[in-house]
Amino acid sequence: MTIDATFWVMISFFAFIGLLIYFKIPQKIKKTLDENINNIKNQIDEADKLKEDAKNILTEHERKISNSEVEVKQMLNKASEEAEKNVIKTNKDFHSLMETRKRNAEERVKQLKNQALKDIRNASVKIAIQSVEKLIKNSLDKSKLDKIYSSSIEETKLALKKKSS
């Protein structure tokens, strides 16, 4: 039998395989692969857990958002109602204030009218008295003057009574 290069390649191959088995390389490779498989399985399980947690959080936040939307609508409705109430109240207050001012103005006009009538009466009486005094001073006949004075006073009284009525 001739020993050629193929023989030595075969011997080297078996020696290599023997060394691999001697140093337990296949078990180490298997152990490393198993560790990697377990590590990947753990990562997948953790990712599934995180995915489930994310779904739960998403559901919770969506529920909170829908609740918030309802609360915002309620708050807007409440604010709108309060604004309407405030407008109505302000409007009522304004009208009552204007009504009070109107009554006060009417009362003031009545007072001014009454005061003007009193002033006119007083002025009329004063003018009548002055006229009578002038007539008395200018008149020579005392009896005639007394008649004119009496009639003027009576006429003034009647005129004042008619105006005050």
Number of domains, the chain: 1
For 92-141, the pLDDT digits (tens) are 999 999 999 999 999 999 999 898 888 888 877 888 787 767 766 665 56
**Domain with 124 in it:** 24-164
Confirm if 96 and 112 have CB atoms less than 8 A apart: no
Q: Count helices and strands (H / E) in the chain.
A: 3, 0
Q: Would 14 be classed as within a structural domain?
A: no
For 23-63, the pLDDT digits (tens) are 888 899 999 999 999 999 999 999 999 999 999 999 999 99
Confirm if 145 and 132 have CB atoms less than 8 A apart: no
Q: Would 75 be classed as within a structural domain?
A: yes
pTM of the full structure: 0.40
Confirm if 112 and 133 have CB atoms less than 8 A apart: no
Residue 66's H or E segment, with its range, is helix 25-138
Q: Would 3 be classed as within a structural domain?
A: no
Give the integer Cα–Cα distance in Å for 75 and 102: 40
Torsion of Cα atoms, 94 then 98 then 103 then 104, to 10°: 100
